[in-house]
Amino acid sequence: MAFAGLKKQINKANQYVTEKMGGAEGTKLDLDFVEMERKTDVTCELVEELQTKTKEFLQPNPTARAKMAAVKGISKLSGQAKSNTYPQPEGVLGDCMLLYGKKLGEDTVFSNCLIEMGEALKQMADVKYSLDDNIKQNFLEPLHHLQTKDLKEVMHHRKKLQGRRLDFDCKRRRQAKGAHIADDEIRQAEEKFAESLQLAQIGMFNLLDNDVEQVAQLTFFAESLLEYHQQCTEILKGLVSTLMEKKEEAVNRPKMEFVPKTLADLHIEGIHDLNNGRRYGSTQSLSRPRQHIPPSSSVGDLSTTDPFKAWEAPSPVRTQVRPAPGFKPHPAPRNQFNGRDPWTGDFSFICRVIYVWFWLWIAGDGGGTWWKAVHGRNLTCT
């Protein structure tokens, strides 16, 4: 028997190579059988893709699916039955809203609305879990059974038919070329070929003629989706009604007056000003009146030729000084800078320099007249 089986395999390989490369003609089957084979192949692809896409529809997150598959495989290897539930996006978002709604406190309308919406999303997640269970039980499992039982059996008969056809054609071709092959051997090969042909046709016909069961499965799928969306609609209608009431409550709630606290109210000592000990951030800085700044003077008020000596006196005294030749003093408005510190009223070194050059620049020569009067030569800018 072992030798007979090996001989049959050699005959099939010889016939296959001869048909593909030698141009030999094999036994041709009718068009109806070829069309049944095509539809059977399409059904195999359909069942495979339909299971994959349905799982992606129910569980759209690929990372979560891969994690669940890994946990399932590890649990099988370890012998421990460990279940891992797919995280529904509605449930994840609902948990987030519930968490932060409770953290904010239930004394605000916004936090109460967060809690209400979080609970509604959790209910929708529970409905989605129920949808997953129903579709897996009544749609995916029948498809898996069809793939592993009926389709597998049909594909087995088709493969066996192909092998017996090659064996029958090889023996018949060799007999036609004059090889010593008994008629009984060819007749036996023909009977086996006819048997496989009949089984393959019956299997493909039963597979393709099973529309009632397949349509019933699709109908249940559609009904499950309809029921899921109806339940979600009812949940969302109640949620929208509740949120509208909360919105009206927020609109009609009277506005609360809020007065921010100062550092003095919180008994926090601020930084003291270095000039007059004024405390920033306290009410003293707001109630203390600003020191009066006397009106500004002109260059004619300087008591000496050198304007820097004008600040040696304890207080500014208006004196008559002969101006330098070519100098035309201008009247000083009261609101212009007079060289005093705006907080203390004293003359500082920087204020002196700014004050002198300010008025000499107004004279029109950029300070050249004062420079010539003091140093005896013209001011040259390089």
Structure tokens at 41: 């192949």
Cα(374)–Cα(305) distance, rounded to whole angstroms?
7
Cross-strand bridge partners of residue 279: 272
Q: What does the angle CA 65 – CA 66 – CA 72 come to, to the nearest 5 degrees? A: 90
Average pLDDT across the chain, whole number: 77
Between 366 and 142, name the one with better pLDDT: 142
| pLDDT of amino acid 284 | 45
Question: What separation in angstroms does the CA of 61 have from each of 86, 111, 221, 298?
Answer: 9, 29, 21, 82
Nearest C-alpha neighbor of 185 from the set 172, 198, 199: 172
Structural domains of the chain ordered from first start? 7-252 (1.20.1270.60), 299-375 (no CATH)
pLDDT at 257: 85
CB 131 within 8 A of CB 224: yes
| The pLDDT of residue 273 is above 50 | no
Angle at 241 between CA 238 and CA 244, to 5 degrees: 150
Residue 99, pLDDT above cutoff 80: yes
Per-residue pLDDT band at 103 (split at 50, 70, 90): very high
∠ at Cα 294 (291, 298), nearest 5°? 145
pLDDT of residue 318 exceeding 70: no
Residue 324: pLDDT band with limits 50, 70, 90: low
Write down the pLDDT at residue 286.
44
Given this model, what pLDDT does residue 326 score?
A: 58
pLDDT digits (tens, 9 = 90+) for 48-79: 999 999 999 998 888 888 888 787 777 777 76
Q: What is the pLDDT of residues 24-52, one digit of tens each?
A: 677 788 899 999 999 999 999 999 999 99
pTM: 0.60
Contact status, residue 205 vs residue 39, Cβ threshold 8 Å = no
Indicate the pLDDT class of residue 178, thresholds 50, 70 and 90. confident
Q: Return the higher-pLDDT residue of 177 and 58.
A: 58
Identify the band that residue 300 occupies on the pLDDT scale cut at 50, 70 and 90: very low
- Partners of residue 272 on adjacent β-strands: 279
Across the range 144-161, mean pLDDT stands at 92
Q: Averaged over 284-294, what is the pLDDT?
A: 46
Please write the tens of the pLDDT for every residue from 207-246: 999 889 999 999 999 999 999 999 999 999 999 999 999 9
Distance, in Å, from the CA atom of 167 to the CA atom of 6, rounded to the nearest integer, reads 12
Q: How far apart are CA 142 and CA 248, in angstroms?
A: 51
Name the residue with higher pLDDT: 274 or 271.
Answer: 271
